[in-house]
Amino acid sequence: MTWLLDHWLPLLGWTGSALLVGSILQTRVLRFRLLNAAATVTLATFNLLIQVWPMVAMNVVLLTINLWFLARMRRRPQQEQGFTVLAVGSGDAYLNHVLRTHDVDIHRHQPDFVWNPARNELQAYLVQKGDETVGVVVLRTRDEVAYVELDYVTPGFRDCAAGEHVWLRSDILRGRGVRRVLTPPNMKDPYYARLGFRREGRSYVLDLSPAEVTRPQRVRADDREPVAA
């Protein structure tokens, strides 16, 4: 037992500390909660073994808080996330500001994306939660197919089901009579499979049934206007 305490106990303490520091560095809410929960379990065990009871109690409380938030994130209906999708023109000043601000991160996930505001065939959308920008979607539609030029979510919202809202709940597709969605081929870490997209070569495809599609509606690209959720 003494050998175990001398050799493994310090490692347990260092591991818990590393997990705690790593959790604080996370920008994604879910990853922060998971790492922080793992850190509290490790540090609670460490302090239990060395009998530092106040630290045991603190880590148990922190673990309870993390588990409560994780359960809340899991069971909260997606419609309560409060996302709004705004159609904007390609020359919109705020849209171009967002694209410039996140340019490095955008090309880390979609290295082939090239933005040209003069391309009139593109439809751009800002995904908002209140007054915070969640992400940007840029589509090019032809006939009944929507080609995804950009599907970007800012780091802080990547665990908040924004993609599910855009592709399955909003009227981005339905308002244009889209029957099929085709994603860009070289997107890094695509998430589409868990939303029901099927793999087709290096891209993902979403087929919409006729019952899910309404008649095409005219969308003003020059003004920001909400697309009904």
Q: Which domains are seen in the chain, by residue range?
A: 2-75 (no CATH), 80-227 (3.40.630.30)
State pLDDT tens for residues 103-115: 999 999 999 999 9
User: Which residue has better confidence, 180 or 81?
Assistant: 180
State pLDDT tens for residues 119-149: 888 999 999 988 889 999 999 998 899 999 9
Half-sphere exposure of 229 (CA within 13 A, CB side): 17
First vs last Cα of the chain: how many Å apart? 60
Q: Is 121 helix (H, G, I), strand (E, B) or coil?
A: coil
Note whether 89 and 120 are within 8 A (CB): no
- Among 155, 153, 144, smallest CA distance to 178 is for 144
In the predicted model, what is the mean pLDDT of residues 31-38? 88
Note whether 88 and 224 are within 8 A (CB): yes
